Structure 1
Amino acid sequence: MTRKGQVPLGERVYHSLRQDLAAGAIVPTERLGEERLAEIYGVSRTPVREALARLQADGLVERHSDGLYPYRPRLEELDNLYELRMVLETRGIQRVLDLSEVDAAQQVAAHDLAPVRAELQRWRQLRDDPPEPGPALVAADEQFHTTLLAAAGNAALADALTAVYVRVRPVRTLDLPTPDRMAVMAGEHIAIAEQLLAGDPGAALRTLVAHIDSSRTHALARAQRALQLTKLARAMRD
């Protein structure tokens, strides 16, 4: 029996597990066994079962023949999600370009450059003192892109991009960037921010397009490798 004001266990496990899935704290190829999750969250299997059912309804958990697993987009779906990401992010900068053709004052008013400056400083620090690869780095990358999109003056675009990231994050956490890839990522982020702050959204748009294209190539390659490993693991079990 739940006391007044007390969060039900199923609700608490649901939010904790959802957060862990979103942060990449749970390996995407790991089966979500009720007994193990009950041990992790310190509850019985019943609230875990309730939470998994809700997460499956949310589309963040999917059922395979041998149980429940974190959702992972298929190759075609992943490619489509990156296409949507390209549309959303380029539209943010295109809005600024459209305004600049009408009125430079409107462009300045519509584009909030303060968060862009903050992100530039953040990524210069990450370039000079690279962090260990992990979910925090993925989160920092996503924050850069959603911040830039929100700064362009349409919060709905940034919200839509966040929803895309929720869907692609399980793949991104399968194979975290190497130090070389991290250096390239930081350099491209810095270039985009510097170009925006220098008043050259056209150059920023070109750099952004190349950056997202590169990210899509890496994500699809990671997904393809994960699919091959999954098939191999299932064949060995069978």
Structure 2
Amino acid sequence: MVMLGEFQTGQRLAEEQIAEQLEVSRTPVREAFVRLHADRLLSRFSDGGYFVAEIDLIDLRDLYELRLALELQGINRAREFGIDHDRAALLALRKEWQAVQKSPPEPDGSFIELDESFHVALLRASGNLALVEVLESVNVRIRPVRTYDFLSEDRIVTSTAEHLGIVEALLDHQIPLAADRLREHIGASLEVVEERAAEAMRRRALRSRITREV
């Protein structure tokens, strides 16, 4: 509901009202607030209440640029420094995502965790753990909006296939091809995220205007 723009930016979320609407107790709603706050989709008032956080699309583009640079460096290490990727790790990653491809999860924001694990594992296979640490910090900052990427079945199917394509290229020692596929993959993700985040922002603005007029 937050990601689809069903609440206004800055709107205090009423725990009891949402629990009644979803026909659940207040406990899972409270737990959802905590999780959404950790993912930076919600912010907190000084009295402890929660409200919908604003999306910064300019900051998002900058962070995606940094993310791409980090991951490309991981792939290109094998070409620039003659360092091979951890083949056992790549084989394990391929096996894991072949299983995901056979039985894809339901489309929702939780797929972000599985997606992040792929990119971290891929970078770790390059052997540079310092790059991995920086990527993990970037992931935390872009996670709130990256969840918009996985709200439809086609995005999960497409992303899974792209993951496998990147790994296959690395296993075949086709470093330039792997880099190209990664660049296209992250670029497509940014395009989808920006479009859906912008749409959510438009919905929130419209709801806010309607509320003021009423």
TM-score (normalizing by structure 1): 0.69
The change in CA–CA distance for 1:70 and 1:150 in structure 2 (over 3 A counts) is farther
Q: Does 1:82 align with 2:82?
A: no
Q: Tell me, in whole angstroms, the C-alpha distance in 2 between the residues paired with 1:42 and 1:135.
A: 16
AA aligned opposite 1:93 = I
* CA positional deviation for 1:93: 0.9
Alpha carbons of structure 1 residues 35 and 210: separation in structure 2 relative to 1, 3 Å: closer
Percent of matched pairs sharing the same residue:
34
**1:123 and 1:190 in contact (8 A); partners too:** yes
Query: Is 1:40 aligned to 2:22, yes or no?
Result: no
Q: Structure 1 CA distance, aligned partners of 2:182 and 2:135?
A: 15
- C-alpha distance after superposition, 1:100-158 (max 9, x if no partner): 2xxxxxx23xx222222111111111112211112442111111111111111111211
Residues 73 and 162 of structure 1: is their aligned pair in 2 closer, same or farther, counting only changes over 3 Å? farther
Question: Where do 1:140-179 residues align within 5 Å?
Answer: 140-174=114-148, 176-179=150-153
Q: Is the contact between residue 172 and residue 222 of structure 1 (CA under 8 Å) also seen in structure 2? A: no
C-alpha change, 1:61 and 1:181, in structure 2 (3 Å) is closer
Which of residues 51, 67, 81 is equivalent to 1:99?
81
Kindly provide the amino acid, as one letter, of the partner of residue 224 in structure 1.
A
1:230 corresponds in structure 2 to 204
Cα deviation digits, residues 15-54 of structure 1 (max 9, x gap):
xxxxxxxxxxx845555648659x42799xxxx9xx8xxx
Give the gaps of 5 or more residues in structure 1.
Answer: 1-25, 101-106
Task: Give how far 1:160 is off.
Answer: 1.5
C-alpha displacement at 1:231, in angstroms? 0.5
- What secondary structure is seen at the aligned counterpart in 2 of 1:173? helix
The correspondence of residues 122-201 of structure 1 with structure 2, limited to 5 A, is 122-174=96-148, 176-201=150-175
Shift in Å at residue 179 of structure 1?
2.2
Which is higher, the Rg of structure 1 or of structure 2?
1
Deviation at 1:206, TM superposition (A): 0.9
> How far apart, in 1, do the equivalents of 2:41 and 2:157 lie?
31
Q: Is the 8 A contact 1:93 1:201 kept in 2?
A: yes
State the one-letter code of the partner of 1:181: R
Q: TM (normalized to structure 2)?
A: 0.76
| CA displacement 1:85-105 (0-9 Å, x = unmatched) | 1111111112221122xxxxx
Q: Tell me, in whole angstroms, the C-alpha distance in 1 between the residues paired with 2:129 and 2:181.
A: 22
1:70·1:170 contact (CA, 8 Å) conserved in 2?
no
Aligned match of 2:22: none
Task: Name the SS for the 1:122 alignment partner.
Answer: helix
Partner of 1:69: helix, strand, or coil? strand
Q: CA separation of 1:211/1:175 partners in 2, compared to 1, >3 Å: closer, same or farther?
A: closer
Contact 1:72/1:171, CA 8 A, preserved across alignment: no
Q: What is the aligned partner in structure 2 of residue 114 from structure 1?
A: 88
2-structure distance, mates of 1:210, 1:59: 27
Cα 1:179–1:95 shift into 2, 3 Å: same
Aligned residues: 194
Cα-Cα RMSD = 3.1
Secondary structure in structure 1 of the residue aligned to 2:104: coil
| Structure 2 residue identity aligned to 1:225 | E
